[in-house]
Amino acid sequence: MAANWKEKMLRSCEMTENYLKDCVAKLSAPEELKEAMLYSLLAGGTRLRPYLCLAFCRLCGGNEQDALPFAAAVEMIHTYSLIHDDLPCMDNDDLRRGKPANHIRFGEANALLAGDALLNLAFESVLCSNLPADLVKEGLAVLGQKAGACGMIGGQTLDLAAEKITPDEEMLLQINRGKTSALIQAACVMGCVAARADETKKQAANAFGEALGITFQLTDDLLDVRGDETKLGKPIGSDEKQNKTTFVALLGISATEQRAKEENERGKEALSCFGPEKEELFLLADWLLERES
């Protein structure tokens, strides 16, 4: 089963990357813009979100092909957010996944536009789906809600505001629900939408996505204090250096570990309405909890 799960992850990664390449290739847009978009789209990463979108579609009895434009859309949003996040006025990061950040490679103005273009293209990708118009509308509504001011961008705004104060645990949770969980939730719920799943399953997918996002952030904070720099590919202790308030700083290591385990369990429990094939998602959740990078 474990091997089977990783195979599925690799396959959805390949499907998504091929789809992303096609999506950009067929645009009658300036070549330099397409190059900047593809540079970041194809820079690697776990493709966690597309995998979740396709997996939930499968678990709800749908056809993965129907969910592919949705999965690609979520990955486009994720990619644009990284490009804009790396800009000097935001996190000012020169490197992303070991490669020069988009603005280092193409200049700030082009990076800004490549990000805007990917955000725009995400909504167009959903429209490319062959699903009936009402499902396309529903998928778009989920994406818009989770990616926008009430979701990811809202979380980023709170995160900026938190630089000036010391956030408490509830605010930290709120920031991470926006910054990390929201887009993961979009992926999970949109997979259900593509499979015409009922409201119960969509709500379960939403709760699972929220917990997975929080677990991801908790383990991220833990890795930053006790990770292996060679496995992590980046120096540890960067949160403290940047004066960033983390769960570890607020709760300590052992309580943060405990919270991560609890969130992981909460996520699994949310999936009670799904059949035994949900085991695949349990393995993914455990992998995220125990990851070393």
In whole angstroms, how close is the CB of 77 to a second copy at the nearest point?
9
The residue (of 107 and 233) whose beta carbon lies closer to a second copy is 107
CB-based contacts of 122, cutoff 8 Å, min separation 6? 72, 73, 74, 76, 77, 80, 143, 147
Q: Applying CB under 8 A, which residues contact a second copy? A: 27-30, 32-34, 37, 80, 84, 87-90, 103, 107-110, 112-113, 115-117, 119-121, 123-124, 127, 132-134, 136-137, 140-141, 144-145, 147-150, 153-154, 156-158, 160-161
CA distances to 106, 108, 116, 178, 226 from 149, in Å: 27, 23, 15, 9, 34
CB-based contacts of 195, cutoff 8 Å, min separation 6? 56, 57, 58, 59, 60, 61, 62, 63, 66, 67
Residue 229, judged by CB atoms within 10 A of its CB (0-12, 13-18, 19+), counts as exposed
The residue (of 103 and 202) whose beta carbon lies closer to a second copy is 103
In whole angstroms, how close is the CB of 4 to a second copy at the nearest point?
36
In whole angstroms, how close is the CB of 158 to a second copy at the nearest point?
5
In whole angstroms, how close is the CB of 75 to a second copy at the nearest point?
16
The residue (of 121 and 193) whose beta carbon lies closer to a second copy is 121
In whole angstroms, how close is the CB of 221 to a second copy at the nearest point?
22
The residue (of 2 and 161) whose beta carbon lies closer to a second copy is 161
The residue (of 58 and 179) whose beta carbon lies closer to a second copy is 179
CB-based contacts of 198, cutoff 8 Å, min separation 6? none
In whole angstroms, how close is the CB of 165 to a second copy at the nearest point?
13
d(CA 278, CA 245): 34
d(CA 58, CA 39): 30
The residue (of 45 and 148) whose beta carbon lies closer to a second copy is 148
Place of tokens 């067929």: 26
Place of tokens 């103005």: 109
CA distances to 82, 152, 179 from 100, in Å: 13, 24, 23
54 neighbors 15 (Cβ within 8 angstroms): yes
In whole angstroms, how close is the CB of 134 to a second copy at the nearest point?
5
The residue (of 193 and 285) whose beta carbon lies closer to a second copy is 193
In whole angstroms, how close is the CB of 210 to a second copy at the nearest point?
16
In three-state secondary structure terms, 232 is helix
The residue (of 136 and 222) whose beta carbon lies closer to a second copy is 136
CB-based contacts of 237, cutoff 8 Å, min separation 6? 224, 225
